[in-house]
């Protein structure tokens, strides 16, 4: 783990960010509160620059709630990553979470979504091939 992750590593690991080729894979393991989400966004942006990533996958399969703040964070993360030259795909949204999100009128657009990690990687590859 790079040393900037220290403040995350001090407590039980809530998010892991792995680099795989030109893609960063960020897995959220437990529910994050608002300040942890902000920190997650900052760390991820930092890593995109350092690793020169062209794709970002955020795996939210472990979350059973994605509220308006989390939605907002994921959207702005996607927009900011785009400005730094990386495409973002959110993967692993559960059926119940998807249902709750549309009921509350929450949307992740323009960030792309995919069923799971495998699909997310395929989607990124297709997008990058196009570009």
Partner 1 sequence: MSAGGWEGVATNGSPEQGEGGEEQGGRTALLSELVSHLRDKRTQLREQWARRIGDAHLLSAMTEQEIFTEATSVYDNYVGVLETGSVQELQQYARDLSERIIPRGVETHEVVGIVLLLRDVLARSLFEKYRDDFELLDRVLDAYEPAANRIANTVAVSFVEERERVIRQQQDSLRELSTPVLQVRERLLILPIIGVLDTQRAQQLTDQLLRGIRTHRAKVVVIDITGVPDVDETVADHLVRTVDASRLMGAGVIITGLSSEIAQTLVAIGADLGKMNTVGDLQGGIEEAERTLGFTVTRTADAGH
Give the residues lining the site for partner 1 (CB under 8 A).
Answer: 91, 93, 95-99, 101-103, 107-108, 113-116, 119-120, 123
We find the least distance from the C-beta atom of residue 23 to partner 1, in angstroms, to be 17
Residue 80, both tokens? 């900011």
Q: Which is nearer to partner 1, 1 or 104 (CB)?
A: 104
Q: Which is nearer to partner 1, 18 or 98 (CB)?
A: 98
Q: What angle do CA 68, 73, 75 make, to 5 degrees?
A: 95
Q: How far is CA 78 from the centre of its chain?
A: 8
Q: Strand, coil or helix: what is 129?
A: helix
Q: Which is nearer to partner 1, 39 or 112 (CB)?
A: 112
We find the least distance from the C-beta atom of residue 127 to partner 1, in angstroms, to be 13
We find the least distance from the C-beta atom of residue 77 to partner 1, in angstroms, to be 16
Contacts of 104 (CB under 8 A, 6+ apart): 67, 68
């Amino acid at each position: 783990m790079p040393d900037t992750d220290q403040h995350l590593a001090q407590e039980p690991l809530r998010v892991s960010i792995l680099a795989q080729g030109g893609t960063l894979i960020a897995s959220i393991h437990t529910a994050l509160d608002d300040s942890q989400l902000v920190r997650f966004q900052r760390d991820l942006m930092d890593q995109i620059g350092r690793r020169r990533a062209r794709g970002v996958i955020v795996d939210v399969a472990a979350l059973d709630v994605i509220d308006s703040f989390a939605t907002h964070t994921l959207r702005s993360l996607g927009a900011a990553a785009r400005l730094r030259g990386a495409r973002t795909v959110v993967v692993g949204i559960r059926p119940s979470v998807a249902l709750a999100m549309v009921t509350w009128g929450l949307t992740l657009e323009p960030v792309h979504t995919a069923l799971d990690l495998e699909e997310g990687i395929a989607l990124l590859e297709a997008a990058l091939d196009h570009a």
